[in-house]
């Protein structure tokens, strides 16, 4: 794209010859104009290049004779430079201001959404902690010390009114490496050597961040898991292990009136044996049973589901029944709009 620039001038003010003391008689033969010269970029004025005087006669502009110009100059007539001479820089300033305001609003909305997400997650973890069974594993992530970023697990053994008795699982893996399969394998090999502790529920809940300030930065909440370890850990997740563990991958697409979506299984290899639409107009086209193998840390391989009858932007709810190799069935409730959805285990049978 070529850059268009140059200079031009525009009219500021008009005087009669008598107003400028060029004659004592009124005359309409000509007028004297003050004009602002300016530099432009893409025809937008950027800055002034001074003022010039001109004679307008019969619709045309002429240069002011030197003797007449000298008379005008001696009078020091004040003529202000119009603000729009600097329209270009002003537009840039306004544009930057609008962009800055947009960024602040966008950041505010993002922070508000993040606050809501963290608060909602805290409520879910609080409820899960109250109802955790001996199939549940509580996940903690180190926030300081030599174990920063490493994952520790509490495998629930018993859940009473005020406390939880659990085995402390220390695989030494990062939060991306410590998959359920890794934790279950570690438990099967070293269960007899693991430390068993009793933790009050109130103490465990104090490690759940409820705000951004508690989740990040110097005000973050965290607890100690071992007396001899001065490191601190945040409670990040509570999940039912020892079976299929279904997660939404957030991938899929739309085509016509159809929607496709992908799920991953972090737990035992299983099959999807039933899909039941509860809300919406989803007609399932995926042949069942569908193999649902155990995924790696990146969520591969996954299981693709496809349904017709979907209208973009409309909410849906459906039940997904998964069966493991022992024949036990797990019913998951999936609720969402488009590809944004939640997955919740609601029944085992």
Half-sphere exposure of 74 (CA within 13 A, CB side): 9
For residue 301, cis peptide bond before it (omega within 30 degrees of 0): yes
- Stated as kind and residue range, the H or E segment containing 292 is strand 290-292
CA distance 155 to 187: 9
Q: Is residue 45 packed enough to be buried (19+ CB in 10 Å), middle (13-18) or exposed (0-12)?
A: buried
Instruction: Please tell me the pTM assigned to this model.
Output: 0.68
CA distance 214 to 237: 16
Question: What is the predicted pLDDT for the residue at 2?
Answer: 60
Question: What is the predicted pLDDT for the residue at 103?
Answer: 78
CA distance 265 to 180: 10
Could you tell me if 100 and 94 are in contact, meaning their C-beta atoms sit under 8 angstroms apart?
no
HEC-encoded secondary structure of 43-59: CEEEEEEEEEEEEEECC
pLDDT per residue, tens digit, the chain (349 aa), is 566 778 788 888 888 888 888 887 777 788 888 888 888 887 788 878 888 888 888 888 888 888 788 888 888 888 888 887 777 788 888 888 888 877 777 776 676 788 888 898 999 999 999 999 999 999 999 988 888 888 999 999 999 999 999 999 988 888 788 889 899 999 999 999 999 999 999 999 999 999 888 888 778 899 998 878 888 999 999 999 999 999 999 899 988 899 999 999 999 999 999 999 999 999 999 999 999 999 887 778 899 999 999 999 999 999 999 999 999 999 999 999 999 999 999 999 8
């Amino acid at each position: 794209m070529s850059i268009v620039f140059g200079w031009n001038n525009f009219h500021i003010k008009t005087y009669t010859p008598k107003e400028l003391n060029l004659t004592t008689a009124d005359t309409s033969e000509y007028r004297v104009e003050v004009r602002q010269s300016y530099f432009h970029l893409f025809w937008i004025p950027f800055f002034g290049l001074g003022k010039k005087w001109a004679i307008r006669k019969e619709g045309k502009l002429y240069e002011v004779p030197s003797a007449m110009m000298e008379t005008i100059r001696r009078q020091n007539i004040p003529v202000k430079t119009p603000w729009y001479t600097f329209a270009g820089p002003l537009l840039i300033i306004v544009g930057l201001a609008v962009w800055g305001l947009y960024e602040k609003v966008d950041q505010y909305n993002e922070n508000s959404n993040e606050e809501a997400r963290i608060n909602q997650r805290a409520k879910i973890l609080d409820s899960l902690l109250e109802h955790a069974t001996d199939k549940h594993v509580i996940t903690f992530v180190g926030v300081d010390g030599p174990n920063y970023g490493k994952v520790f697990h509490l495998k629930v053994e018993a859940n009473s009114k005020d406390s939880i008795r659990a085995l402390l699982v220390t695989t030494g893996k990062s939060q991306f490496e410590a998959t359920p399969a890794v934790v279950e394998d570690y438990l099967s090999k070293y269960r007899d050597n693991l430390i068993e502790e009793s933790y009050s529920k109130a103490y465990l809940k104090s490690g759940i961040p409820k705000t951004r300030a508690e989740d990040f930065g110097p005000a973050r909440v965290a607890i100690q898991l071992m007396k001899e370890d001065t490191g601190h850990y945040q409670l990040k997740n509570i999940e039912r292990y020892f079976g299929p563990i279904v997660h939404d991958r957030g991938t899929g697409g739309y085509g016509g009136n159809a929607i496709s979506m992908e799920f991953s299984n972090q737990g035992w290899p299983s099959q999807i044996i039933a899909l039941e639409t509860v809300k919406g107009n989803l007609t399932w086209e995926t042949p069942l049973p569908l193999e649902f193998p155990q995924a790696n840390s990146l969520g591969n391989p996954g299981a693709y589901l496809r349904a017709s009858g979907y209208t973009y932007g409309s909410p849906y709810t459906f039940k997904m029944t998964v069966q493991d190799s022992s024949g036990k069935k797990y019913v998951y409730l999936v609720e969402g709009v488009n590809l944004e959805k939640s997955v919740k285990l609601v029944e085992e049978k």
